[in-house]
Amino acid sequence: MNDLFARHRSVLPDWLALYYEDPLEITHGEGRYVWDAEGNKYLDFFGGILTTMTAHALPEVTKAVSEQAGRIIHSSTLYLNRPMVELAERISQLSGIPDARVFFTTSGTEANDTALLLATTYRRSNTILAMRNSYHGRSFSAVGITGNRGWSPTSLSPLQTLYVHGGVRTRGPYAELSDDDFIAACVEDLKDLLGHTRPPAALIAEPIQGVGGFTSPPDGLYAAFREVLAERGILWIADEVQTGWGRTGDNFWGWQAHGQHGPPDILTFAKGIGNGMSIGGVVARAEIMNCLDANSISTFGGTQITMAAGLANLSYLLEHDLQGNARRVGGLLIERLRGVAAQVPGVREVRGRGLMLGIELVKPGTDQADPDAASAVLESCRADGLLIGKGGGHNTSALRVAPPLSLTVAEAEEGAAILENALRSIQ
């Protein structure tokens, strides 16, 4: 055990999930690469979904953050805050939600918590529909709507949560149906559930499940759900913490693959928008956002320094069309990985879109999840200079690929070659 790992173990909780048998200490990064404390260089195929939407140490963000740090960081809400207003204006306009209001938090968890506060208050119901296998954060309320039991340490909750089929298809009850029949079966299931419960406040869903393994429901699933929900006044909360900002290539938001009946009522975001600075937030139309009749503030949500980072990062993303880049480079990557999958029996499927790709591993010749293989591929990639992620349900048998959105074709090829080598070696 390396020295820092030993110290980590002695002062931090056991339940902090750490990657790798010999955990990595990342000390610096540039572009799509990071370096560890021993000077080893890695191509980062996972940091994009965690912290780094555009690129590591993006000079535009570094400059904005250091300039703001030298100027002022004060209460984000008690006084007027120019960068917060400017970022809210941009996000409100990009969200697709009419007459949108934005509230900034410091994490995705707190964003979802706020969305639950809004939905339950607005609807006067504490019943929430959530997707099986979902992940929405780590607070008491967020774990109460997290269907992925490996990430939900308590069954006690301030909410009554009902879980819905559809977010994950692999090995689900309707896995073998066509897209249309799959959607129809999930809608019937939802209607059946709604027939036996008090009116819920909202359905919360990740358009593509992140922690759950980048599972991809057929396009239009949430539009079909939306129709059923809207008839009953039930709100739709899209958790875009992983799917937002163009990551899926085809769309700016994940919900747009399901947008036939319009935007969600509430949208939550977090992770890479600050390129590492802690920005989360909720967007909702004014009627919903303003349903709270008591004061509320956040000391650190929306601080000038995080907002400066968000503005610089978002500008870079839009000016360099990183959504288009995600579509183009992600398209090449998925094609290449599907070619490998066809030749490696332990790869069940390669799924996702843009730069959000999941690779589901099974024991060859069976449909059984293979978490050991996923760990082995992760270790092998690391040894060859590539960082990737893992995910899935009870068994983390999916690999996750989510680089910063500025990934180049040459870097995609470099990473794909390492990944291909690792996948071939597990057979």
Shortest gap between Cβ of 215 and ligand PMP (angstroms)?
A: 12
For residue 376, which phi and psi values (nearest 5 degrees)? -65, -40
Shortest gap between Cβ of 164 and ligand PMP (angstroms)?
A: 16
Q: Which of 112, 133, 313, 397: binder of ligand PMP (CB under 6 A)?
A: 112
Residue number with CB closer to ligand PMP (309 or 418): 309
Q: Which of 114, 242, 251, 275: binder of ligand PMP (CB under 6 A)?
A: 242
For residue 108, which phi and psi values (nearest 5 degrees)? -65, -35
For residue 239, which amino acid is it? Answer: D
Name the segment binding ligand PMP (CB under 6 A); options: 152-160, 239-247, 319-327, 401-409: 239-247
Shortest gap between Cβ of 106 and ligand PMP (angstroms)?
A: 8
Q: How many residues bind ligand PMP (CB under 6 A)?
A: 15
Helix (H) or strand (E) holding 182: helix 179-194
Residue number with CB closer to ligand PMP (301 or 346): 301
User: Site residues for ligand PMP, window 253-272 (CB under 6 A)?
Assistant: 270
Q: If you search the block for the tokens 């759900």, which residue do you land on? A: 225
Q: Which of 241, 288, 341, 422: binder of ligand PMP (CB under 6 A)?
A: 241
Closest CA to 166 of 138, 194, 197, 133: 133
Which distant-in-sequence residues (6+ apart) come within 8 Å of 104 by Cβ? 76, 84, 87, 88, 279, 280, 281, 298, 301, 302, 306, 307
- The single-letter DSSP state of residue 208 is S
113 binds ligand PMP (CB under 6 A): no
- Backbone conformation region of residue 359, classed left if phi is above 0, alpha if psi is from -120 to 50, else beta: beta
Q: Helices 179-194 and 221-231 sit at what angle, rounded to 10 degrees?
A: 30
Residue number with CB closer to ligand PMP (206 or 265): 206
x-or-dash string of contact with ligand PMP, 131-170, rule CB under 6 A? ----xxx---------------------------------
Three-state DSSP state, 320? coil
Residue number with CB closer to ligand PMP (137 or 352): 137
Given a contact cutoff of 8 angstroms between Cβ atoms, the answer to whether 269 and 111 are in contact is yes
For residue 308, which amino acid is it? Answer: A
193/171 Cα distance (integer angstroms)? 21
Name the segment binding ligand PMP (CB under 6 A); options: 86-94, 129-137, 159-167, 372-380: 129-137
- CB-based burial label for 296 (10 Å; 0-12, 13-18, 19+): exposed
Shortest gap between Cβ of 148 and ligand PMP (angstroms)?
A: 10
For residue 398, which amino acid is it? Answer: A
Given a contact cutoff of 8 angstroms between Cβ atoms, the answer to whether 339 and 351 are in contact is no
Shortest gap between Cβ of 45 and ligand PMP (angstroms)?
A: 17
Name the segment binding ligand PMP (CB under 6 A); options: 36-44, 237-245, 319-327, 369-377: 237-245
Residue number with CB closer to ligand PMP (239 or 265): 239
Shortest gap between Cβ of 123 and ligand PMP (angstroms)?
A: 21
Q: What is the chain's alpha carbon radius of gyration, rounded to the nearest angstrom?
A: 21
For residue 389, which amino acid is it? Answer: G
Residue number with CB closer to ligand PMP (135 or 182): 135
28/98 Cα distance (integer angstroms)? 41
Name the segment binding ligand PMP (CB under 6 A); options: 9-17, 91-99, 106-114, 258-266: 106-114
Strands of the sheet with 26-30, listed across from one edge? 26-30, 33-36, 41-44, 386-387
Q: How far is CA 289 from the centre of its chain?
A: 23
x-or-dash string of contact with ligand PMP, 269-308, rule CB under 6 A? -x---------x----------------------------
Shortest gap between Cβ of 211 and ligand PMP (angstroms)?
A: 5
Q: Which of 44, 113, 219, 239: binder of ligand PMP (CB under 6 A)?
A: 239
Name the segment binding ligand PMP (CB under 6 A); options: 34-42, 60-68, 104-112, 296-304: 104-112
User: Site residues for ligand PMP, window 163-222 (CB under 6 A)?
Assistant: 206, 210-211
Shortest gap between Cβ of 206 and ligand PMP (angstroms)?
A: 5
Closest CA to 415 of 34, 17, 22: 34
Q: Helices 304-319 and 59-69 sit at what angle, rounded to 10 degrees?
A: 160
Residue number with CB closer to ligand PMP (240 or 411): 240
For residue 307, which phi and psi values (nearest 5 degrees)? -65, -40
Residue nearest to ligand PMP (CB): 108
**Residues interacting with ligand PMP, by CB under 6 A?**
107-109, 112, 135-137, 206, 210-211, 239, 241-242, 270, 280
